[in-house]
Amino acid sequence: MMRPWLAFLLKAAVSIALLAVLVQRVDGAALLARLRQADSLLLLAALLAYLPAILLQAWRLCGVARPLVRLRYGPALAITWIGHAFGQLLPSQIGGDPFRVWYLGKQDIRLRQGFLIVLADRVFGFIALFLLLAVGLPWLFGLSEDTLLRGFAIALVLAGLAAWLGAVWFDRLAMLLLPPAWQRRLPALLGEMAVFLRQATFRPGPALNGFGLSLLAYLAQTLMAWLLARGLGLDIGFLALLILMPLANIAAFLPVSIAGWGLREAVLVPALALLGLPGESALALSILIGLVQLAAALPGLAVWLALRR
């Protein structure tokens, strides 16, 4: 088994290598000039615009937990912020999820229940991304006739939806496809997971709450990116960012880099090139998006330290 520190160093190396390659492909002087000209007031406005995304995700966590336990908003916000903080400091943006499960336990929520709650909460966020991408496919196809890009986008949407449906119907698929001897060896938690995800994502009330709040959170994130673009003097439409940002978000969740650094840029730079944006401008915007997300998450460390006392 790979030691945690070695895995961390390898993923940090991936982030650094990807960023280095991207920086070498653009005009370094133009990149620095673009970053220096960023409007400080719009940078602050972008940070403030992103904070509601965290508030909405805490609200979503309360709703997801409701079928199992009653979770008050204050603790949910603290847990969500801690998750964001460690998601920005650990490999991939889901690195904070174990911390969320742990601190749900501090609310007298059993470990098994905490795992199901965090899993369902994450599923809502993921599926909302794939739904946004699916809705934006016609617009994306209008930007490029590249067959490879179109095929990749369609495959990504289908893979996300297939993963969702496979998870929520796992128990029934296992009964249908696996021999009885194998079925008896499956952990009971997998069956509970499927039932809970089915109840959370298919029932009108919980589904409306989960997907609705997820979409509102992504609107806040898109507003943040749009304000940063305006602060850099870039003319990018809000709708364009709303359709393209899910690609970067999905890439950032892959556990092969630190908090998605490098992966986000590797996706967003060519995606924004479809709009005619120069590489250095797209890279500057992606870097600022990462820095604002990091700044917004840092209060979670203060919350974590306070709860450790």
* 66 falls within a domain: yes
* Domain boundaries, position 276: 44-308
* 206 falls within a domain: yes
Q: Region 120-149: what's the mean pLDDT?
A: 86
- Tell me which of 77-86, 102-111, 147-156, 193-202 is least confident: 147-156
**Residue 59 neighbours by CB under 8 Å, 6+ apart:** 73, 76, 213
Q: What pLDDT digit, counting tens, does each position of 177-197 carry? A: 888 888 778 788 888 888 888
- Decide: 15 and 258 in contact? Cβ < 8 Å: yes
Query: What type of residue sits at position 164?
Result: W
What does the pLDDT read at residue 5?
Answer: 63
* 120 falls within a domain: yes
What does the pLDDT read at residue 309?
Answer: 67
Q: What pLDDT digit, counting tens, does each position of 217-270 carry? A: 999 999 999 999 999 999 898 988 998 888 888 888 777 778 788 888 888 888
- Tell me which of 32-41, 57-66, 220-229 is least confident: 32-41
> What is the rounded average pLDDT for all residues in the chain?
87
- Decide: 196 and 190 in contact? Cβ < 8 Å: no
* 31 falls within a domain: no
**Residue of 259, 256, 297, 262 whose CA lies nearest to 283:** 262
* 20 falls within a domain: no
**Residue 246 neighbours by CB under 8 Å, 6+ apart:** 129, 130, 132, 133, 136, 218
Share of residues in the chain with pLDDT > 90 (%): 37
> Angle at the Cα of 188 (from 184 to 193), degrees rounded to 5?
130
Q: Is 249 exposed, middle or buried (0-12, 13-18, 19+ CB in 10 A)?
A: buried
Give the up-direction half-sphere exposure of residue 169: CA atoms within 13 A in the CB hemisphere.
10
* 34 falls within a domain: no
Q: Does the pLDDT at position 271 exceed 50?
A: yes
The residue length of the chain stands at 309
Across the strands, what pairs with 258? 91
- The number of distinct structural domains making up the chain is 1
* 130 falls within a domain: yes
Between 17 and 75, name the one with better pLDDT.
75
What does the pLDDT read at residue 145?
Answer: 77
* 7 falls within a domain: no
What does the pLDDT read at residue 171?
Answer: 83
